[in-house]
A and B are shown apart, each in its own frame.
Chain A
Amino acid sequence: MRLKWPLSAAVVLVLTAGCSENESTIETEEAAGEITVWAWNLEADYLIDLVPEFEDLYPDIKVNILKLSGDQVYQRLTTGLAAGVESQLPDLVQVENQRIDLYMDNFQESFVNLSDMGFDEHRDKFVEGKISPLINDEGGVMAFPRDTGPMAVFYRADLFEDAGIDANDIVTWDDYIEAGEQMLERTGTLMTGIQLTGDTQFYRAMLQQQDLFYFDLDGRITANTYAALNAMEKLKEMDEAGLFLYASNGEEVNAAIKNDAVATVISGSWQKGIIEDQMPEQEGLWRVMKLPAFEEGGLTAANDGGSNLAITSVSSNKEAAYLFGEFASVNVDNQVHGALSYGAYPALIEAIDRPEFKEGDAFFGDQEVFTLFGEEAIDLPVVNFTDDYLRAQNTFNDAIGRVILQDVPIDEALETAANRLEAATGREVSDE
């Protein structure tokens, strides 16, 4: 019933904020006993696959994987951390890069510093763009790095052929726009989908290609920078060229892909899994190319997505949790398995170099898809997510909506975004 909402909201507000202290319990040193892991979707499946082998290695440890939805993990984690009660929290939990800062800053001491447990020996085994955001102010690694989402352009080879476009000719965003116009003219197909309510990931990619993000490395807001303006202008050009299919969220974009309504998708490597899963009839028609750069020779790499495993401070079995986290993130075979079975592209450099990834993929016309992702993964720029990431994402998406849907001048839309973020976060605005 409608009436119930404010009450329950108030209750949760209190439960989450009422008791924000949590003292970590005494650390047990022997690696034995049971641990609970919270994860969602494919990551949970991946972890479940690892359990038998892990339990063979460490017969005294029993691992329980709880497969939830992403929202459930975050909601339970938030309330659990606020309450600080061990029975309400897992020993190990999946957290995405973009949320790590949010949790670490609002629930300080809520996660175990893995450097204290010896993770520093593995630090250099991961691509820089992945592990940097996981390092706290004191230089400690706060979570086990798992997958990354190197971004690329997924395209339909058959439609490109019909339109007479050679994918090799698309090097810059301008080339991409030109190809899109040709596509529209010759086949009537739109170039790509843009999520107007959801998340315009490729705007974020465009910022990354200019070595920026919603925030710069000092945590300042970038909405007033040349890079933000430049990226927004490209979006506007694409829109004016009529390349976009307007979708409200990711599902609508996927519906458009399924219905042959768009010729390309600009997304993270995990999009591979979605296409293979939901559009099996399009087998053999897809290919992948690197992101267009702003100018020839410019940065093509950008990261979207990727999660990590963090140990909660209240866990009474940190040693066992550490061993399992290490097994799930540092073991090369496991990373390869995760990538091949679930499309979770590894952040572990040694795994990226594995020969399994150099095999052609039948779904993508025998293209060596993973090789391309690997090249991108190594180049991923280091970005600063900050604890205001979600607010920034919403604010920037609003700015995009204003520019695309309401023809608000770009500088005005970005100015508004900068002001709103400044007021809400108290952060400085960068104007470089």
Chain B
Amino acid sequence: MSNTVTPKTKAPQTSKGKSTKNKAGLAPYVFIAPAIILFLLFTGYPIVYSLVLSFTTNVEGVNTFSGFENYIRLFKDSLFYESLFNTFIILIFQVPIMIMLAVILANVLHSGIHRFKGVLRVAFFTPTVTSLVAAAVIFLLILNQDFGILNFILQSMGIDRIPWLNDPFWAKVSLIMVTIWRWTGYNMIIILAGLQVIPKDLYEAASIDGATPLRKFFSITLPQLKPVLLFAFVMSTIGTFQLFDEAFNLTDGGPINATTTVTMYLYENGFEYFDFGYASSIAYVVVLIIAVLSFIQFKLAGDD
């Protein structure tokens, strides 16, 4: 109590200086606190807990520490490798085709068509926001081997019916088709945004030099789009590793696990077999793979 009295003369100065400094320093944290707290609660905690969980197994209803058992089991699990292989196949075929389509569509929409621009953008973007459960029902009807409309069209053109969902190879093709249908518009919008910031004078200069439209595309558009394309590639790679609803709703991972993606395998183990520890270890291995792949992509595309 005594010391509150003694520095009386000094007090106003210090408290003034301190308090303004404090207010200025604290305010931003107060404003971002809700976001930080929510992030820690719903993202940070689960991430950490999932790591802990990956070192446990459920023994008669109780989670017990089991060391690296889950990871060792994972590296011996042929189904895990199969699901990883499926994911890679989808990645290798789907992502390049999709980005290529997205670039073409974005360019067409950017320069060629003026009248229905808005409508077309919406049309291409709609699949991204469509409920995939609803879409899957439609695709199941389209792809039905015996009564589907796609095979009906093929047959009327004299082509044999294709076992879209009943054959391991064609099921993968079907899944890739649906994924392309769903995500091309999303990437197209990103690339469209990228196209709009390319300086016009580059094209004007090229025109003066007599460059053909094709030459302009390869010499100006593509190099200028590089950061945007890199972004699209990295996001799509991550997205492919998280591919779930498409496979879950359309093919349920089959036949013979031909379309089981890693995320689906994770889901099956966690939420169907209640093997949460094992599912967590899958999640962590997938995170590691994504990190490595993203790093490689940045290395390959970076260094400008």
Check A196–B63 contact: CB distance below 8 A.
Answer: no
B164 and chain A: residue at smallest CB distance: A248
B31 within 8 A of A: no
The distance in angstroms between the C-alpha atoms of A109 and B79, with both chains bound, is 32
- Which residue among B58, B61, B283, B286 has the maximum number of chain A CB atoms within 10 Å of its CB? B61
Taking the complex as formed, is A261 at the interface, i.e. its CB lies under 8 A from any CB of chain B? yes
Our pick among A75, A247, A394 for the contact of B166 (Cβ within 8 Å) is: A247
Task: Given A3-B242, A105-B60, answer yes or no on A78-B271 (Cβ-Cβ < 8 Å).
Answer: yes
**List of A residues within 8 angstroms of B130 by Cβ:** none
Give chain B nearest CB distance to A72 CB in angstroms.
Answer: 13
Main secondary structure of the interface of A (DSSP, over half): helix
Question: Is the CB of B49 closer than 8 A to any CB of chain A?
Answer: yes
Q: A256-B146, A391-B273 are in contact. Are A108 and B166 (CB under 8 A)?
A: no
Contacts of B276 in A (CB 8 A): 13, 16-17
The answer to whether the Cβ of A139 comes within 8 Å of any Cβ in the partner chain is no
Complexed CA–CA distance, A357 and B33 (Å): 67
Q: Given that A3-B242, A259-B146, A405-B168 are known contacts, is A398 also in contact with B50, CB under 8 Å in the complex?
A: no
Which one, A4-12, A58-66, A342-350, is touching chain B?
A: A4-12
Given the contacts A6-B242, A13-B53, A259-B146, A197 and B253 also touching, CB distance less than 8 Å: yes
A108 to B238, CA, bound (A): 37
Q: Judging by beta carbons under 8 Å apart, are A11 and B60 in contact?
A: no
Report the separation of the CA atoms of residues A405 and B258 in the bound assembly, to the nearest whole angstrom.
12
CB distance from A259 to the nearest CB of B (A): 6
Residue of B73, B168, B263 touching A406 (CB-CB under 8 A): B168
Complex contact B283–A6 (CB within 8 A): yes
B103: CB under 8 A from chain A? no
CA distance A108 to B274 in the complex (A): 13
Bitwise interface map of B from 253 to 287 toward A, beta carbon under 8 Å scored 1, else 0: 11111000001001110111111100110010011
Residues of A within 8 A of B266 (CB): 9
Q: Closest CB-CB distance, A336 to chain B, in whole Å?
A: 35
Which chain B residues numbered 112 to 149 have a C-beta less than 8 Å away from chain A? 140, 144-147
Q: Contact between A5 and B263 (Cβ–Cβ < 8 Å)?
A: yes
Query: Is A390 interfacial (CB-CB < 8 Å)?
Result: yes
Q: Is B232 an interface residue (CB 8 A)?
A: no
- Complex Cα distance A350/B2, Å? 90
> Is residue B194 within 8 Å, beta carbon to beta carbon, of the partner chain?
no
Q: Are B242 and A108 in contact (CB under 8 A)?
A: no
Contact status B61-A106, CB under 8 Å: yes
24 A–B contacts from the bound complex (CB under 8 Å): A5-B242, A6-B283, A6-B286, A6-B287, A10-B50, A11-B46, A13-B53, A13-B276, A14-B53, A105-B60, A106-B61, A196-B256, A246-B166, A252-B145, A255-B144, A387-B274, A390-B273, A391-B272, A394-B268, A398-B257, A405-B255, A424-B77, A424-B273, A424-B275
Given contacts A6-B283, A7-B46, A397-B254, 4 further A-B contacts (CB under 8 A): A5-B242, A7-B43, A78-B271, A255-B147
Which 6 A-B pairs rank lowest in CB-CB distance, beginning with the nearest?
A: A197-B254, A108-B61, A401-B256, A2-B239, A10-B46, A248-B165
